[in-house]
């Protein structure tokens, strides 16, 4: 296994930020990963921070990383028939998410079609309980295998133990920096699929496609089309998708914000009220706005872009701080970053 030094991470993050890793290595199996971690403990400077990488589509490198970056390239998909209606499908961490979803659709397994074209890898999908168009992975997640970084033992976490929330899980909280997800198992339908088309944009797209009785493959095609027309392709313009979470606030706070801004869009979220962060940012005049090398996307203010391709992570971070401050000033609402800041 090769350990590179002073290695550029530019190609390993979808923002296209050029930060250096003091050390960088790629692993293709659990054994290699354990070997690397043991080697690092014995031969590299002590207390070296670790950073695990999937597709690099949900992180912002604000500086060079003075530690060991480990690219997780574990591959493989396996299946186990549960009964006539359901199958368990397990994918290793380094499988590309969208290719995995396409694999399940070729087999006519239902459940993940609404999550088509989300960038990144399968191993990262539980981190923030990825979601889109009315579906989150928690709806089909059964369990994942995780390497405990202290003991180097493999533990299994079931759905409840992962404590999934909106763009959240135990892996972003208590287990942050303590565990690596090695593989993920989903329960999918093999027939009588329950399709979710209630999201307005999907219905509209299906209509345009002339589809009345949508199959899971039709839904995937519709989602892919919507996403391609709405979101900037990171291969062309650096970004990490939604930079902020949609804030949830108490009904009391919402009432006072609504009194000043009666047009504010909102929807219920348990006992709280969720507000689209993109709308708040747009109202503060940030849509399409550029400062230096950084901007928000012209069509979606929630997406921060590396406009010139030359932005540093620090610049992008500072730009995001300005957005947080203006939303706080205008609406009294605190935005939280969805992207992992490194």
Q: Applying CB under 6 A, which residues contact ligand FAD?
A: 14, 51-59, 72, 93, 118-121, 123-125, 127-128, 130-132, 171, 180-181, 231, 234, 239-241, 340
Q: Which helix (H) or strand (E) holds 37?
A: helix 30-43
Question: Is there a contact between 90 and 183 (Cβ–Cβ < 8 Å)?
Answer: yes
Nearer to ligand FAD, 36 or 180 (CB): 180
Nearer to ligand FAD, 58 or 248 (CB): 58
Q: Which of 205, 242, 320, 337 is catalytic?
A: 242
Nearer to ligand FAD, 52 or 317 (CB): 52
Least distance between ligand FAD and beta carbon 184 (Å) = 9
Phi and psi angles of residue 42, each rounded to the nearest 5 degrees, phi first: -85, -30
Least distance between ligand FAD and beta carbon 266 (Å) = 20
Q: In a 3-state reduction of DSSP, which class is residue 245?
A: coil
Instruction: State the Cα–Cα distance between residues 42 and 188, nearest whole angstrom.
Output: 43
Q: Which helix (H) or strand (E) holds 27?
A: strand 20-27
Annotated active-site residue 8? The verdict is: no
Q: Cβ neighbours of residue 177 under 8 Å, at least 6 residues apart?
A: 50, 149
Nearer to ligand FAD, 258 or 340 (CB): 340
Q: Cβ neighbours of residue 258 under 8 Å, at least 6 residues apart?
A: 264, 266
Least distance between ligand FAD and beta carbon 94 (Å) = 8
Contacts 24+ apart (CB under 8 A), 96-105: 96/55, 96/120, 96/121, 96/122, 97/55, 97/121, 97/122, 97/124, 97/125, 97/130, 101/220, 102/220, 103/77, 104/186, 104/188, 105/216, 105/217, 105/220
Neighbour-count burial of 98, counting CB atoms closer than 10 A to its CB (0-12 exposed, 13-18 middle, 19+ buried)? buried
- Beginning with the edge strand found earlier in the chain, give each strand of the sheet holding 290-291 in spatial order: 238-242, 303-306, 294-296, 290-291
Least distance between ligand FAD and beta carbon 93 (Å) = 4
Least distance between ligand FAD and beta carbon 88 (Å) = 19
Q: Which of 95, 116, 167, 169 is catalytic?
A: 167
Nearer to ligand FAD, 1 or 260 (CB): 1
Least distance between ligand FAD and beta carbon 341 (Å) = 9
Least distance between ligand FAD and beta carbon 144 (Å) = 9
Nearer to ligand FAD, 204 or 230 (CB): 230
Nearer to ligand FAD, 220 or 254 (CB): 220
Instruction: State the Cα–Cα distance between residues 234 and 262, nearest whole angstrom.
Output: 36
As a residue count, the chain comes to 342
Rg of the Cα trace of the chain? 21
Annotated active-site residue 174? The verdict is: no
Annotated active-site residue 269? The verdict is: no
Comparing CA positions, the residue from 302, 262, 266 lying closest to residue 281 is: 302
User: What residues are annotated to the active site?
Assistant: 167, 242, 338
């Amino acid at each position: 296994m090769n350990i590179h030094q002073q290695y550029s991470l530019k190609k390993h993050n979808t923002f296209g930020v050029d930060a250096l890793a003091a050390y960088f290595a790629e692993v293709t199996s659990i054994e290699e990963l354990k070997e690397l971690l043991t080697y690092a403990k014995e031969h590299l400077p002590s207390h070296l921070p670790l950073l695990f990488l999937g597709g690099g589509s949900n992180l912002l490198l604000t500086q060079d990383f003075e530690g060991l970056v480990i690219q997780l390239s574990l591959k493989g998909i396996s299946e186990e028939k549960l009964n006539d209606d359901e199958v368990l499908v397990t994918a290793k961490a380094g499988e590309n998410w969208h290719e995995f979803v396409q694999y399940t659709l070729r087999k006519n397994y239902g459940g993940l079609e609404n999550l088509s074209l989300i960038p990144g890898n399968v191993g990262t999908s539980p981190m923030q309980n990825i979601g889109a168009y009315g579906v989150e992975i928690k709806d089909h997640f059964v369990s994942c295998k995780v390497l405990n970084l202290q003991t180097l033992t493999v533990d299994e976490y079931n759905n409840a133990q992962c404590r999934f929330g909106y763009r959240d899980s135990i892996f972003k909280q208590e287990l942050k920096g303590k565990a690596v997800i090695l593989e993920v198992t989903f329960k999918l339908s093999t027939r009588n699929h329950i399709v979710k088309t209630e999201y307005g944009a999907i219905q509209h797209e299906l209509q345009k496609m002339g589809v009345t009785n949508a199959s899971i493959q039709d839904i995937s095609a519709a989602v892919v089309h919507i996403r391609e027309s709405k979101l900037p392709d990171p291969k062309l313009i650096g970004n990490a998708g939604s930079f902020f979470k949609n804030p949830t606030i108490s009904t009391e706070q919402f009432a006072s914000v609504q009194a000043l801004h009666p047009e504010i869009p909102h929807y219920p979220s348990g006992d709280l009220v969720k507000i689209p962060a993109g709308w708040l940012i747009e109202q503060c005049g940030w849509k399409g706005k550029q400062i230096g090398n950084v901007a928000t996307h012209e069509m979606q203010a929630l997406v921060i872009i590396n406009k010139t391709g030359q932005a540093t992570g620090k610049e992008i971070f500072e730009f995001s701080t300005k957005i947080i401050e203006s939303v706080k000033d205008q609406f009294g609402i605190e935005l939280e970053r969805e992207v992992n800041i490194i």
